[in-house]
Structure 1
């Protein structure tokens, strides 16, 4: 008997430290030492880097900071943190004792002619009340609730990182939409400038026709180019309004709310600083989507332990105390209590429990593959954006020279046409070239800005700016 009394508490102590399932190991994947077009030097922590300020656009800066607090997608991600925090409490509550209380009262009576004949009483009534307290505690010998809480905490961390993912998506969308809006304004301004130039050419052609040196065909061709320029304006105006409306939606206000404030044109955003891309390994630390994928892998790994714990016996300690009182004169009160363990042992379940373990392991493997895919996609995004950004700069520089050359050509063509040394076709061709080159330059500047945005988002820049939850992580 003494041996049993000693062995049982010892066995309970040993089992209490037993947690089934694999312990989480940080995933690894082979990455290059550097990106193909940058140096092998770490960029450090870029989560608080306000990279959009490189555009030196006060209006853009104001919109970004306004939307960080108002964007509905970011707010949804923040709200999911609240749900994840509640899930941690739920997961931890399973391993704690549960206590409940109950009470009820009854009043009963009987009457009727039959009772009067048999009992001699006109009325019979009884009153009773019962109350009780019960408690139960499922002993977590194999770590079911500890693994559940581990999974819930990992999911909570993923929810925090999902806020960073939403914030990066917001920054990318807002800044790109602002770049688009300013592009359409620039394109409109250029087309109006081209329209003015072509009307000047039309006036010149009419003057030369009146002098007898030009034909009606020359006038019609010039008018056609004027009308074509007028036809291009509505589409550009539509593009501006759509970009402005989307910015309003991103700020959490109705469409067209901020259109009037953007109507006053501004120069196209051009980045003034280069972006430090760092090394591929930096992405695992700086990209919130990679961190979130790793946290989900950790949660899935913990769920393996939850599934495996179902294969083992479970012991629940339970007890209750009850009091019953009948208010009849003959009856008194009665109290009762009970306490003891109950054992649940899985014996035959058709292989369902083992299948659940297999499913949990498969889910963890899927999460690992998802993490690895996220890492490789991040590396690709940085490589693509960096390659594009470098070549965008070369394109912009070349197109600036093209515009200068065509503007000089147009000036010479007009002088030559006035002097009768060339035809109106030479002037019209020169005008088309100038207009096309100017618009190509504006489009190249827009693409340069968009790729600058893409590169900074790809390295995780600014993911935690404006976050009120960073300190609580």
Structure 2
């Protein structure tokens, strides 16, 4: 008995070594992260968890909050995060023994024959009884344990934990994408509202011009060419309005779907015309190394590398002996009350070692190493892409700000020219072609200013997202967020199990 206890304690305690490489985070220099940016950028770091509040637009904040709670892409990533969590539970269960119980009742009856032959005193032979029946009871307990001698199971748990964390970062990556998409379409919706106002104001001017040209033609001051040019300009201005209305509808519909609602659900909320959100002039980008912590896609790639490294140990453990231990306790009796009078037990320990497998196990090790090399390349690529996104967004914001300033000057000049040209045309000091040219320049400058303001807001959103804003990078990546879309349990509640 002592030898059996000793064998079991040895099996449970021989998990001190784990084959395969241990994962260590890569330094920034090995990943190609420079010390400073190659473009002018602020080195200060700011809290970007709720960057949209910097635009000081309550409707934008409300829309992003709705999307975070109801977006269906996010609901899918939450489901995948739950799957990864349960996969980790399954991996951890392999570290523990398995135990199962059994019980049974056996009843036998003689259906034919089996009676007793008796000769009576008068010489008569008769058969009595039919052999009767019997009942037996049994109980059993079986246990088994696969000793993790070389850490294959522990490496599997290590890989599962890293994949679980990577799924959490994947959720954050999707969240940032949804937030930026809502903000971008919101900016577009406000820009289209401004363009619609411009187009309708231009149409009103063209109506006035057509009326003035008609009066001058009737007065014999100009030929009918002026009236036809005015009609052409008026029709072109009117034709621009339906296209902008279609673009506005598409942006608003997209926001509705991003928040998990029908396309037209948010039209009442957005129908009041509001200016394009501006936001701050500058954003603190911090140092380039910040992307290793702030960008969730970079952290997901790092966790995937950790999982791939652990899988090398899982594959290498298959090359070494495997120890399995099993035991059982059984009892059988003809009566239930006598079940525990006699108890039997057994213990078995087995050692197995792969001798020939055609190179399969070694190939699995090499394959795992190749997968880890690919994961490292993907990790480094994600870092470089993040740096590229940030620098491009910094430059885009700067150029949009400069364009906005120039378009403001152009709009002011074009507006003054158009006012002067209209006054001169009314007085007969210039022709309609000059008036039409000046007003076309005014429309172009006005729409250019709107587009520059929209580009500036969009570039600001892109920079916030490129920096990894929109989530709490200090929180555990595996915290399951609350989502409003129905789960399978919600749908089947009250219907019973199928």
Q: Using the TM superposition, give the Cα deviation of residue 40 of structure 1 relative to its aligned residue in structure 2, in angstroms.
A: 7.2
Contact 2:32–2:384, Cα closer than 8 Å, also in 1: no
User: How far apart, CA to CA, are the structure 2 residues paired with 1:447 and 1:277?
Assistant: 19
Whether 2:175 is the aligned partner of 1:175: answer no
What are the Cα deviations for residues 83-109 of structure 1, in whole angstroms up to 9, with x where unaligned?
A: 222222211110111111011223333
Residue aligned with 2:333, SS: strand
User: Are the structure 2 counterparts of residues 269 and 220 from structure 1 closer, same or farther at C-alpha, using a change threshold of 3 Å?
Assistant: same
TM (normalized to structure 1)? Answer: 0.91
Q: Number of matched residues?
A: 464
What are structure 1's unaligned runs of at least 5 residues? none
Q: Which residue of 1 aligns with 2:16?
A: 17
Which residue of the partner structure matches residue 32 of structure 2?
30
Query: Is 2:191 aligned against 1:192?
Result: no
Alignment of 1:5-404 (within 5 A): 15-27=14-26, 28-39=30-41, 41-43=43-45, 46-48=47-49, 50-112=50-112, 122=130, 124-326=132-334, 335-404=343-412
The yes-or-no answer on 1:435 pairing with 2:443 is yes
Q: CA deviation at 1:77?
A: 2.5
Instruction: Tell me how far 1:346 sits from its aligned partner.
Output: 1.0
Mark the runs of 5 or more structure 2 residues left unpaired by the alignment.
118-126, 482-498
- Structure 1 residues 117 and 245: alpha-carbon distance in aligned structure 2, compared to 1, 3 A threshold: farther
Residues 425 and 431 of structure 2 are in contact (CA less than 8 Å); yes or no, is this contact kept in structure 1? Answer: yes
Mapped to 2, the partners of 1:450 and 1:173 lie a distance apart of 10
CA positional deviation for 1:10: 11
Aligned mates of 2:310, 2:400 — CA distance in 1 = 47
Residue 450 of structure 1 corresponds to: 458
Distance 2:474 2:193 in 1: 30
Deviation at 1:252, TM superposition (A): 1.4
Cα drift, residue 207 of structure 1: 1.2
Q: What SS is found at the alignment partner of 1:350?
A: coil
How far apart are the structure 1 equivalents of 2:10 and 2:473?
A: 52
Distance in 1 separating the partners of 2:304 and 2:8: 37
Offset of 1:288 from its aligned partner?
A: 0.6
Q: Is the 8 A contact 2:43 2:286 kept in 1?
A: yes
Q: 1:147–1:305: 8 Å Cα contact kept in structure 2?
A: yes
Structure 1 residues 224, 468: closer, same or farther in 2, change over 3 A? farther
| Range 431-440 or range 272-281, more displaced | 272-281
User: CA, structure 1 residues 134+418, in 2 after alignment: closer, same or farther (shift >3 Å)?
Assistant: same
1:82 positional shift: 2.6
Deviation sequence 1:156-188 (CA, Å, 0-9, x none): 221221222111111110100100111111110
Q: Distance in 1 between matches of 2:232 and 2:42?
A: 56
Whether the aligned pair in 1 keeps the contact of 2:116 and 2:130 (CA below 8 Å) is no
Q: Could you tell me whether the CA contact under 8 Å between 2:78 and 2:480 is conserved in 1?
A: no
Partners in 1 of 2:162 and 2:465 — Cα distance? 24
User: Residue 16 of structure 1 aligns to a residue in which SS?
Assistant: coil
Length-normalised TM-score, structure 2: 0.86
In the alignment, is the contact (CA less than 8 A) between 2:159 and 2:310 conserved in 1? Answer: yes
- Measured in 1, the distance between the counterparts of 2:39 and 2:151 equals 49
8 Å CA contact 2:103–2:138 kept in 1: the answer is yes
Q: Does 1:426 align with 2:419?
A: no
